[in-house]
Amino acid sequence: MGEGTLPEQIATRLRRDILRGLLPPGTPVKERDHAAELGVSRTPMREAIRMLAKEGLVQLRPARSPIVAKPSFEEVANNIEVMAALEVLSVRLACQRASDVEIDEIAEVADRMERDYDTFDRLDLFEVDMSFHRAIAQAANNPVLAETHAALLARLWRARYLSASRKRSRDRVLRQHADIVAALRARDAVAAQAHVQAHLDHLLVNIVDVFDADDTEYTPAVE
């Protein structure tokens, strides 16, 4: 099924089904049915569902099947606000602390995205994009920051995927990634932070569009 432990492999399969809309918000995630479909026991299925619940993709319910979560705009916006601050901090620290090898690894992710942008499945492309952001957080060499960023990124997985799917802007995204890499190589923290902020400025706007399309009531937050 893939890499990782069996629960991690199952969680990856369910996560991708959620992102693709095969399991839309409000859909019950029935342990027995999904376990039978994947040919696994209910124990790893239960653990996989717990993982997705920690990510905010699934909502647990007492004595009932969990359901695919649909967070409010306010919840998503609050998470984006904190995550954006962490990503700006991450790139500043990465300019100061990242090794040349770590920056090369970040650049390789950006190169891979540019190379395969037009041929990748949009979910594969999205996952490469998110690995770019994770690599920068890890290159900050602050384990607390990296762990907190990873948790927030997981909670925003579906919202960011829907945003990226609705607003695919090839040239802008690739240019911004290249600008971030160039600033990292130059160890220019001011420029790197400005490029990351510019990259993130589109995110909340795109999320608003997603909620508009879903006809969801919300009160937009101020960045």
pLDDT at 197: 92
pLDDT at 79: 87
**DSSP codes joined into one string, 135-191:** HHHHHT--HHHHHHHHHHHHHTHHHHHHHHHH---HHHHHHHHHHHHHHHHHT-HHH
- The residues spanned by each domain of the chain are 6-68, 73-213
Nearest to 139 by CA among 101, 180, 113, 177: 101
pLDDT at 214: 63
pLDDT at 40: 94
Backbone angles phi, psi at 70, to 5 degrees: -135, 85
- The torsion defined by the Cα of 76, 77, 80 and 84, in degrees rounded to 10, comes to 180
- What CA–CA distance (Å, rounded) separates 93 from 185? 13
- Supply the angle between the helices 73-97 and 122-139 in degrees, to the nearest 10: 50
The residue type of 81 is E
Locate 153 and state its tokens: 């990124």
pLDDT at 216: 43
CATH class given for the domain over 6-68: mainly alpha
pLDDT at 168: 61
pLDDT at 59: 92
pLDDT tens for the chain, 223 residues long, are 567 899 999 999 999 898 888 898 899 999 999 999 999 999 999 999 999 998 888 999 998 999 998 888 888 888 888 999 999 999 999 999 999 999 999 999 999 999 998 888 888 888 899 999 999 999 999 999 999 999 888 888 887 887 776 656 788 889 999 999 999 999 999 999 999 998 888 777 777 777 766 644 333 333 2
CATH class given for the domain over 73-213: mainly alpha
* Buried-state track 40-49, b at ≥16 Cβ within 10 A, e below 16: beeebbeebb
- What CA–CA distance (Å, rounded) separates 191 from 92? 9
The residue type of 159 is A
Is residue 38 within 8 Å of 45, Cβ to Cβ?
yes
Is residue 149 within 8 Å of 134, Cβ to Cβ?
yes
DSSP assignment letter at 65: E
Q: What is the pTM of this model?
A: 0.79
